[in-house]
Structure 1
């Protein structure tokens, strides 16, 4: 069965957070007691002040809330020792976020409650949750909703500030774009890497051992199964955190030499050890590799009509309802001559997890292999034979089929790359400046 392909690059913070919070619904059902005896003892100190940032307080409860959000998304137990490991870096993260939000407010770039609510609504929609369900789930697992709301508010405001700071430079000149495209054509055949990153800075050399321990803990959780976008969203201080750490397709010349030396040796699917780079540590995940300018793909659009069974199928003793559903599928397979006909037949029949239109799909990535072979054999406008499963029967039709070079460097991609590099550099510079000018008082 085909489901909609996930969006690889996010256009807004909601897209990022939808990825980052994909596990909340599962975590809500996990056996993670939010009110253990140890947690109850910690609650008595929840209002303790940990830091004062330009006169604004960061409390112990703020840190616990964010640490719990990460831990629960990562699927790890919210035990006291886990919170202790996360506390130093979460504290630093919250201080940086407080500085960002203060700067957004100083520049009179307000983020309204309506904007935050809009992102929450999109989050719920992307995760197939009813209106208000996310807030209820956060409360169920012991997290105040404002922990998430504050994070969204800061991300929206910081992105707005960066766009304002870039001004005219936010739109690369045509000459710059064409130069990027010429360089890309000259690189044809050279290796490219699809990479995600987490960047954790070191602002004070005295705290480097503490930061390194935290980086190693994040790597351990990633290799234990934590989704990379979850960790990137929560802890990366690179601007790519807004895309779950996604750097896109890069060449070794696009990253620090220390990182390039690692990704050249990594197999796809691997997660690096901590890499010391100027300003901090970087963790990278290599998702794919290819030759620059060469990535031929077969792209399909498909329609599918699904007729569910009311009970699990016993092939030796089908029910009358199951026979009727199979008859519907057979008539559709024999008579459908267009994708519109399949779509019309599917109305009211397909479940939410089996959409009529799964979106554009790449044939080479379809699983299982028999389904891929079946789609490859279909000519556009010809329906498949009924596909029988224990839960129902389905008919599929290929609407369009085209060959495309996905590695072709387009003007839009050149603009995005130029803008991404500028935004990342500006974000790091501004963050360093804010810390240098800030009055930060740490309390024991």
Structure 2
């Protein structure tokens, strides 16, 4: 059985996972070992890929980048365990980038700069700050730049290879929708994956040790998307391992046997599948075609306090802010009024948090509050230590989120083709390549 199809926007958003990574500014330099520990061997060659060198410094740089993202320290023994898999990852990236260059697919410095700028924006970093922070904790900026360049180039190569045949026909879309309707009521699973290939049976034990090390990090709190981005060799790595909603027939039998017994939130042990090892995380379960949700839109106005509130001795500024919130709660007649008040309040909370699924909202008191608010009616002021909040529900609707739309069916078919092509091209590149691994 072929491995599960891609359920992520890897063709369209090759950097989305990187752009969703935790804030770089939150990582302390003390979490990483000093570079001097590895400096003596930094220039040692660990692999030669079609004449292009992968050095020990390259491996150390990628391991340090992983540690930065994951917020973990890389002890020498951990680095030793990571080395074989990181080396393989870099070999595959070299092969991809060589093919991108052979086909003369442009990836400009401006493309990299745009991606870095977006990454800084997502992590609330000022422009140029990311490079400084990478340097500060011992990661050469080119380590991240090279990874981004390869991802952009590979995505463009796949688009070029697929060409006009990538676009599913109307008949294919309708067949996908009919097939989905026939499966209504069957179990579906929201799954993330990390796939570690094993091409040489002699390397299986080494790969298993690496997989178990990754699982250990996951269970100690490393976010699954970060680990998937750095180490998974599936195309889903570009989206943090997200496979989306999958059914029994879309999974390897060995994986499904594990998935159907897992509780949501669990991470599996290593699963041997054709071609390698798979780690899966089960995020949710549902019945196919049935996922009724209450979706709301809302607006909120936050009136900040100049200092932390002491309920027994509020300052005059805090009293004034509470009075403003009370007037808004009593007088607002629509979401436009809440928006206008928020613009003048100077708060730092988003006025429009976007569409919210009520059933999954936390904490429960907040969910209960919004569930009880009629659209267009403001909440009573909500007092917090740093300010006072007024919320209003703008719209509320019931929707079946599991119903497959024509656009979703088209994107799903396209992603499947991208994933299959990516795997095939990577296998072909390895088969044709001259790769010399050095101890």
Report the TM-score, using the length of structure 2 for normalisation.
0.96
Distance 1:342 1:388 in 2: 17
Paired residues of 1:343 and 1:356 also in contact (CA < 8 A): yes
CA shift for structure 1 position 169: 2.5
Paired residues of 1:305 and 1:350 also in contact (CA < 8 A): no
Residue of structure 2 in register with 1:123 after alignment: 119
Paired residues of 1:384 and 1:395 also in contact (CA < 8 A): yes
Distance 1:227 1:141 in 2: 20
Write out per-residue CA displacement over residues 201-247 of structure 1, whole angstroms, 9 at most, x where no aligned residue: 11211111111110111111111111010011001111111111100
Distance 2:323 2:241 in 1: 48
Residue of structure 2 in register with 1:360 after alignment: 355
2:388 to 382, 388, 393: 393
Distance 2:367 2:59 in 1: 47
1:418 corresponds to 2:413? yes
Residue of structure 2 in register with 1:341 after alignment: 337
Write out per-residue CA displacement over residues 59-92 of structure 1, whole angstroms, 9 at most, x where no aligned residue: 1110000011112222221211111111100000
Question: Which aligned segments of 4 or more residues in structure 1 are displaced greater than 4 angstroms?
Answer: 8-11
1:374 corresponds to 2:369? yes
Instruction: Indicate the SS of the match to 2:31.
Output: coil
Distance 1:443 1:394, change over 3 A: same
Instruction: Indicate the SS of the match to 2:114.
Output: helix
Instruction: Indicate the SS of the match to 1:97.
Output: helix
Instruction: Indicate the SS of the match to 1:347.
Output: helix
1:63 corresponds to 2:62? no
Residue of structure 2 in register with 1:437 after alignment: 432
Paired residues of 1:193 and 1:290 also in contact (CA < 8 A): yes
CA shift for structure 1 position 272: 0.7
CA shift for structure 1 position 15: 1.8
**Mapping 1:78-117, distance limit 5 Å:** 78-117=74-113
1:158 corresponds to 2:157? no
1:407 to 397, 402, 410: 402
Residue of structure 1 in register with 2:4 after alignment: none
CA shift for structure 1 position 168: 2.2
CA shift for structure 1 position 33: 4.5
Write out per-residue CA displacement over residues 168-220 of structure 1, whole angstroms, 9 at most, x where no aligned residue: 23111111111111111111111000000111111211111111110111111
Residue of structure 2 in register with 1:14 after alignment: 15
1:274 corresponds to 2:270? yes
Report the TM-score, using the length of structure 1 for normalisation.
0.95
Paired residues of 1:296 and 1:405 also in contact (CA < 8 A): yes
CA shift for structure 1 position 166: 1.3
Residue of structure 1 in register with 2:31 after alignment: 32
Aligned length: 431
CA shift for structure 1 position 23: 4.8
2:256 to 241, 260, 264: 260
Residue of structure 1 in register with 2:288 after alignment: 292
Distance 1:343 1:71 in 2: 41
CA shift for structure 1 position 103: 0.1
Distance 1:370 1:350 in 2: 26
Distance 1:261 1:251 in 2: 12
Instruction: Indicate the SS of the match to 1:394.
Output: strand
**Mapping 1:133-282, distance limit 5 Å:** 133-282=129-278
Distance 2:9 2:385 in 1: 35
Residue of structure 2 in register with 1:76 after alignment: 72
